Chain A
């Protein structure tokens, strides 16, 4: 059970020219900030003008600081949150003008695996019932036995014993809840899955099983993944491209290997330097990124990273750096990157 990294990660046909399955166009999601009396006193720009394109069969990694808007981005693409502005085109059609019934059907092809696996399962439902639910909703043609068979198959695929089907969510371990959550969204074989930290809370061996499953499904059904993760070594191993977010914006995006070997944005650099590695120097001893993360409700002028950036110049405060596609297979939003 060895998971090989994709052979040629620096794809020869640029994903931009390959057939897109998802187009995110200047997407924004703002949450109101309220004062002590519940009056709105500003906007928290959780996702602020994010655009990218995902090609069919591609794995796009999304990494970034905790609270920078990765989950909000995923949920807005899913339609769980209404976008404040912008649009997403999924399989050639804007998701904004679906009526509720169509939107429900769309969910069969577009799925979101929650970051909090325990909380995303109904506490009063046994695991078995939760796993039957997606098929009851989307595949009414299946009878009980067919569904049960599929459920067993998924349980085996995520390495869980079938006896766990009769337990309640609070009776299984955190990593097992995570796997149940994944099994639940994978049963439908959707064409695009947004995986929100799918491997956190899993040990290395189970991680290998799950990642192998992802790759198998991708091979068999040509699935596309949006892979949100904090585990940079896994992102590097399985993602074709990666987007780095900082405070609601994509600050760098491009082919994984290029970004990991030659990051252009200073935030990407400090992120990569903070990965703890066994046997390496201890990150906690000499950590680079200083300063508090700024308040997302009251963003610094110009470049959002400038308050913590070691390279910041006077110009950085004046205007927001655009995402420049100045390098082959890589774009970064920094004035000084070259």
Chain B
């Protein structure tokens, strides 16, 4: 309780993190209440060819697309897709990456080395290329995007957790619980994991931003969920042939992507400071 109050207070002191928090909260709310907030909730799947490519107006805040659907409403529904993709694929990456990192970091030996080499191989190939390759092979569908993203992003968590576990393992309190007779499971899950959790939280927040960006690129390349999905990347891809006249067509989804990615990055950077154990634990480290 105390901790939560402390974190909230910190947020209000750190304006940048607060901006990030507001953007992300807004995104989540929009995704949940898309059905209520959208001015034309039906426009995700219905078309009005008569109204196609109209500029922003009171009826259509962000204008309409080539099918005459309301871009504003489609962006709201797109937020749902974006959130789903980001949450599930980042969640899967964490589930794969963190345990591998913990095990490889805690134990020494060929198995740890093997795990780390495998993650290195994944890291060596540029993320986007790997994701494209996987999505290409599996075909355009939202599940495949999620799979492609999870498979490419888990090594980031492995690397981070591996390094932090290595450092944490040298701390006396870890050695002390081993000396007390604690089992490796106990040491890893109850002592090490909580102590490195702030790094994981920050990495996860930042990871959301980059996953959303990659998902948009996949959508843009036509590897995302198929039409008529309101996925943001796909929308931008569709808009290309109508540029520069229908400027609103690409601008608003683009802005949405930009805002959300920036939101996660600001939040992540803010959390880095807020969760810094030395600030939290208020140790007298300054000298």
Chain A positions near chain B (C-beta within 8 angstroms) = 75, 78, 80, 104-108, 111-112, 114, 116, 119-124, 133-134, 137-138, 168, 170, 184-185
Instruction: Assess A122 versus B179: contact at CB under 8 Å? Given A137-B186, A170-B281, A170-B283.
Output: no
Contact yes or no, A137 B178, CB < 8 A: no
Instruction: Assess A80 versus B180: contact at CB under 8 Å? Given A119-B172, A123-B173.
Output: no
Q: Which residues of A contact B177 (CB under 8 A)?
A: 122, 133
CA distance A121 to B176 in the complex (A): 8
The residue in B171, B172, B179, B182 that gathers the most chain A C-beta atoms within 10 A of its C-beta is: B179
Instruction: Assess A123 versus B281: contact at CB under 8 Å? Given A114-B176, A116-B172.
Output: yes
The residue in B171, B178, B181, B281 that gathers the most chain A C-beta atoms within 10 A of its C-beta is: B181
A–B complex contacts, Cβ < 8 Å, 7 sampled: A111-B180, A120-B173, A122-B191, A133-B177, A134-B181, A137-B181, A137-B183
Shortest 3 CB-CB contacts between residues of A and residues of B:
A107-B181, A119-B172, A120-B176
| Interface residues in B186-212 (C-beta closer than 8 Å to A) | 186, 191, 194-195
Q: Which residues of B contact A122 (CB under 8 A)?
A: 173, 177, 191, 195
The residue in A78, A104, A108, A184 that gathers the most chain B C-beta atoms within 10 A of its C-beta is: A104
Q: Which residue of A lies closest to B173 (CB)?
A: A122
CA distance A138 to B283 in the complex (A): 32
Contact yes or no, A107 B179, CB < 8 A: yes
CA distance A114 to B180 in the complex (A): 11
Chain B positions near chain A (C-beta within 8 angstroms) = 171-173, 175-183, 186, 191, 194-195, 277, 281-283
Contact yes or no, B180 A184, CB < 8 A: yes
CA distance A78 to B177 in the complex (A): 13
CA distance A122 to B191 in the complex (A): 7
CA distance A185 to B178 in the complex (A): 12
Contact yes or no, A114 B181, CB < 8 A: no
CA distance A184 to B181 in the complex (A): 12
CA distance A124 to B181 in the complex (A): 19
Instruction: Assess A121 versus B173: contact at CB under 8 Å? Given A80-B179, A137-B180.
Output: yes
Q: Which residue of A lies closest to B176 (CB)?
A: A120
The residue in A114, A120, A121 that gathers the most chain B C-beta atoms within 10 A of its C-beta is: A120
Q: Which residues of B contact A133 (CB under 8 A)?
A: 177, 180, 182
Q: Which residues of B contact A134 (CB under 8 A)?
A: 180-181
Option from B172, B180, B195, B281 in Cβ contact (under 8 Å) with A185: B180
Given contacts A80-B178, A104-B181, A119-B173, 10 further A-B contacts (CB under 8 A): A107-B180, A107-B181, A114-B172, A120-B172, A122-B191, A124-B194, A133-B177, A133-B180, A138-B181, A170-B283
Contact yes or no, B183 A104, CB < 8 A: yes
Q: Which residues of B contact A80 (CB under 8 A)?
A: 175, 178-179
